[in-house]
């Protein structure tokens, strides 16, 4: 078995990790979190989301946060932009990459964004066209790639259809999301194999939630197949407001530990990452859920 020599880790904590917090997290804390992550070696940080404040009140300060970050030149600061208005606001605030999202589950799509999957893909066309004209790279997420809270198991063919459409619309990287964390290594491999028949593996990423403790195992399965891009969230923060019972994302420090022990380069400074996880978890009034942060804190 030959593993990739290095992986790209996309840190989604400032957006996906914080968006469901019930108590508003101060803009200054969000800014400090992003800056701490950059100091810990994160080179791809999803900083915020330019969506309606009514839908995601936690990220109502998106423009303020994006403008105030002290930028590290080697870091990509991206933002989720589901519509043209959001894209324009993100550009004005200084985002240098955008992301869009669609679901492989029709029911999830309707409950999440009140439209069908096909309608959501159509809505993204002007956003992706605008990004192309502006010379801004666009990334995409495919939700429910390994299961849906309403429909149950999702066929790999359904994931492939959505992923291929987004790739053909101009998204350079497609992140395949196990939104409710029900995936297992074998299911993950089957899904990735199906998608990789239509999209080059180097343009695919894994986004695994840890509801049943399978996130790291699913990363390993994907890594064995040659996947070299993974999303994670510092401290294991996050979840999905439209997926009842879904636990947080794979913790970035757990992912970094796995890669470090496997001889795969991440560019991350693990002690600084653990410090960041413990800090933000303390700010939010709880202990970091990641195993690595808890273990190293006791040493």
List, by residue number, the catalytic residues: 240
Which residue stretches of 80-184 are H helix?
Answer: 84-93, 106-113, 117-134, 156-168
What is the Cα 1 distance to its own chain's centre? 27
> For residues 177 and 141, is the Cβ–Cβ distance under 8 A?
yes
Provide Rg for the chain, Cα atoms: 17
With b for 16 or more beta-carbon neighbours within 10 A and e for fewer, the 15-47 pattern comes to: bbbbbeeeeebeeebbbbbbbbbbebbbbbbbb
Instruction: Give the number of other Cβ atoms within 10 Å of residue 206's Cβ.
Output: 28
Tokens describing residue 69: 């970050």
């Amino acid at each position: 078995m030959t593993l990739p020599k290095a992986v790209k880790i996309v840190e989604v904590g400032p957006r996906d990790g914080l968006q469901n917090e019930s108590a508003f997290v101060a803009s200054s804390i969000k800014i400090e979190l992003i800056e701490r992550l950059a100091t810990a070696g994160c080179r791809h940080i999803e900083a915020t989301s330019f969506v309606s404040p009514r839908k995601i009140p936690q990220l109502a300060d998106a423009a303020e946060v994006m403008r105030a970050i002290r930028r590290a030149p080697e870091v990509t600061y991206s933002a989720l932009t589901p519509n043209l208005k959001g894209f324009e606001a993100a550009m004005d605030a200084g985002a240098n990459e955008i992301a869009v999202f669609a679901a492989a589950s029709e029911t999830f799509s309707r409950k999440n964004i009140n439209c069908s999957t096909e309608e959501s893909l159509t809505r993204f066309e002007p956003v992706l066209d605008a990004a192309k004209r502006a010379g801004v790279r666009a990334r995409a997420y495919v939700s429910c790639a390994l299961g849906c809270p309403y429909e149950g198991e999702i066929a790999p063919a359904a994931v492939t259809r959505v992923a291929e459409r987004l790739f053909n619309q101009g998204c350079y990287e497609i992140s395949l999301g196990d939104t409710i964390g029900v995936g297992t290594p074998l299911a993950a491999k089957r899904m990735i194999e199906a998608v990789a028949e239509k999209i080059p593996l180097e343009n695919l990423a894994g986004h695994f939630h840890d509801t049943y403790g399978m996130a790291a195992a699913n990363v390993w399965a994907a890594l064995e197949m040659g996947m070299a891009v993974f999303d994670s969230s510092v401290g294991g923060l996050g979840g999905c407001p439209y997926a009842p019972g879904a636990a947080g994302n794979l913790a970035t420090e757990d992912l970094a530990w796995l890669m470090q022990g496997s001889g795969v380069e991440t560019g991350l400074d693990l002690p600084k990452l653990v410090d960041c996880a413990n800090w933000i978890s303390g700010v939010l009034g709880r202990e970091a859920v990641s195993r690595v942060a808890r273990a190293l804190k006791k040493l």
